[in-house]
Amino acid sequence: MLLASVEYARPRSVDEALSLLAANPNGRALAGGQTLVNVMKARIAAPELLVDLNAIPGLREIRETDEGLELGPMVTYTQLARSEEVIRTRPILAEVAAQIADVQVRNRGTLGGNLCSNDPTNHLPPVLVAVGATMTVAGAAGTRTVPAEEFFLGVYLTAVGSGELLTGISVPQRQAGDGFASVTIGADGTCIANAAASMNGGVRVALGCVAATPVLIEVPSADEESVRSAVADAELDPPSDIHAPAAYRRQLAGVLAGRAVRQASGAA
């Protein structure tokens, strides 16, 4: 399939990328391209300008700090899955990144691309909500930080507005364990439902694939019954599609929340 005509720029700095995006409201940032190039083929998206972020130094860095991890938005899934810093500090991120699609896609696909596309079937949005990550968003007016639970606004929609870029993801040190569970079509395939959990005194559970954005539920204790009843109280209204009816997704959300919490509490 041919793409519609498009212009291309390869900036060398975030500032340059921001000016390019500001100058063209129909411009789009191009990260790994594992979603955007395909939606351009299907003509679902037809940007006039692609601003390729691949040549900007520093956006692929993974740094360990006293507070936790500082992740660049252009960090690939392969980098996340293999990073010693990630495995040491917040291993759930590495574990989940290794389950995304396949080798080729993991080599190109990026953390920032995954978050900014906010496809409700993506694994990383609920994980970042559960662990309490903070996103740094840069624009013409400067930078601002957005907590993960306020970052995802709708299907394919995030707090990153027109002319802005996600420039960093901060993940705090874990206080105790994290967990993740999903049911996919085939190993590492399209997600039917997923759940991420993080212990922090109580438990933060984020349910994915049951709404337009991850559903955050705070559960006071990690016992299976509390988790199940908290999920039931959330009165989820998931979509039905070719892969699963709503009732099945609702059922899975409780089951997967239970599994994620079991892993997070060290009981799995």
Partner 1 sequence: MSEPVAQKTISVEVNGTTYEREVEARRLLVHFIRDDLDLTGTHVGCDTGNCGACSVIVGGTLLKSCMMLAIQADGASIETVEGLAVDGELKPLQQAFGDHHALQCGYCTPGMLMSAKALLDENPEPTEGEIRRAIQGNICRCTGYVNIVEAIAAAAEAGS
Which positions touch partner 1 (CB under 8 A)? 1-12, 16, 19-20, 24, 33-34, 37-38, 41, 49-50, 52, 54, 101-105, 107-108, 187-188
Could you tell me the smallest distance in angstroms from the CB atom of residue 160 to partner 1?
21
What are the tokens at 228? 């199940």
What is the DSSP annotation of 211-262?
SSSPEEEEES---HHHHHHHHHHT---PPP-SS--HHHHHHHHHHHHHHHHH
Q: Which two tokens stand for residue 70?
A: 């500082």
Residue closer to partner 1, measured from CB, 43 or 144: 43
Residue 261 and residue 222 in contact, taking contact as beta carbons nearer than 8 Å? yes
Taking Cα atoms as reference points, which of 212, 213, 195 lies closest to residue 204? 195
Cβ of residue 3: shortest distance to partner 1, in angstroms? 4
- Cβ closest to partner 1, residue 107 vs residue 162: 107
From CA 130, how far away is CA 161, in angstroms rounded? 23
Other C-beta atoms lying within 10 Å of the C-beta of residue 42: 9
Residue 33 beta carbon to partner 1: minimum distance, rounded to whole angstroms: 5
Decide whether 34 or 265 has the Cβ nearer to partner 1: 34
**CA–CA separation, 264 vs 226, rounded Å?**
15
- CB crowding 107-136: b at 16 or more within 10 Å, else e: ebbbbbbbbbbbebbbbbbbbbbbbbbbbb
**Minimal distance in Å, beta carbon 96 to partner 1?**
15
Task: Name the residue nearer to partner 1 (CB basis): 24 or 226.
Answer: 24
Joined tokens for residue 261 = 């919490």
Residue 49: phi, psi to the nearest 5? -140, 135
CB closer to partner 1, 44 vs 176: 44
Q: Least distance from C-beta 168 to partner 1, angstroms?
A: 22
**What is the closest distance, in whole angstroms, from the C-beta atom of residue 81 to partner 1 in the complex?**
11
Task: Compare residues 77 and 151 and give the one whose CB is closer to partner 1.
Answer: 77
User: Which two structure tokens, joined as six digits, stand for 205?
Assistant: 């559970």
Q: How near is the Cβ of 23 to partner 1 at its closest, in Å?
A: 9
Q: How many residues does the chain have?
A: 268
Is the CB of 27 or the CB of 126 nearer to partner 1?
Answer: 27
